[in-house]
Amino acid sequence: MSLDVTFLGTGAAFPCPSRGASALVLRRAGQCWLFDCGEGTQTQLMKSHLRAAKITKIFITHLHGDHMFGLPGLLCTLSLQRSPDASVVPIDIYGPLGLRSFLWRSLELSHSQLLLPYSVHELVPTQDQCPPGEFRDFSGLDQGEGLAQAPPGTVLQLDAETDSYLLLEDEELSVRAFRLFHRVPSFGFVMEEKPRPGKLKVHVLQELG
């Protein structure tokens, strides 16, 4: 399995001319997976050798602005690059609880009409992921009538057996999220490649005795 990592931004708190806010892209099998999306990420993409249209999954570590303020704008840009097509597979976005509401409200208030379908999969944090008094319960955001207008998605609970969240899995790898301690609930993402059995050329072994 071939993997390639490109750092689009490694700056903290705010972008600067020589270093963007947090964002990196992992390329795998013709797809681009974006990890964090700080302000200016789409501009950094334009400067790189990557194609933003290849982004199929986005992972947000936590809800500090320098890790997610670029996300609404990036989705709008990606939407402009695509034609409306019911067969287009939605972009899957993973992040802490509250991310779905942030995206929906940002796009709703700015009258942004996306041609790009997307789904938001939220990780339910635990109170021990941040200092006492900093934890906020976002489980009740945008309940009721407005929720029907929000993008589809799922809510993922912590698996007590593995102490992680299983995000996706295929025949080659699995992707899990793990809890991290930060000023706000934060998550790390781990990609684990599955064992690959070797291909034994039996006829060659037989010829060699």
Q: What is the CATH number of the domain that holds 203?
A: 3.60.15.10
What is the reported pLDDT for 141? 78
Task: Verify whether residue 137 is a known catalytic residue.
Answer: no
Higher pLDDT, 183 or 199: 183
Answer whether 0.85 is exceeded by the pTM: yes
* Dist. CA 163–CA 19, nearest whole Å: 34
Q: Active-site residue among 4, 36, 66, 142?
A: 66
Q: What angle do CA 56, 62, 66 make, to 5 degrees?
A: 90
The predicted model gives 108-115 an average pLDDT of 90
- Tokens 């963007």 locate to 20
Count the domains in the chain. Answer: 1
Residue 1 pLDDT > 70: no
Residue 86 pLDDT > 60: no
- Range(s) of the domain holding residue 110: 3-208
Q: Which helix (H) or strand (E) holds 179?
A: strand 173-180
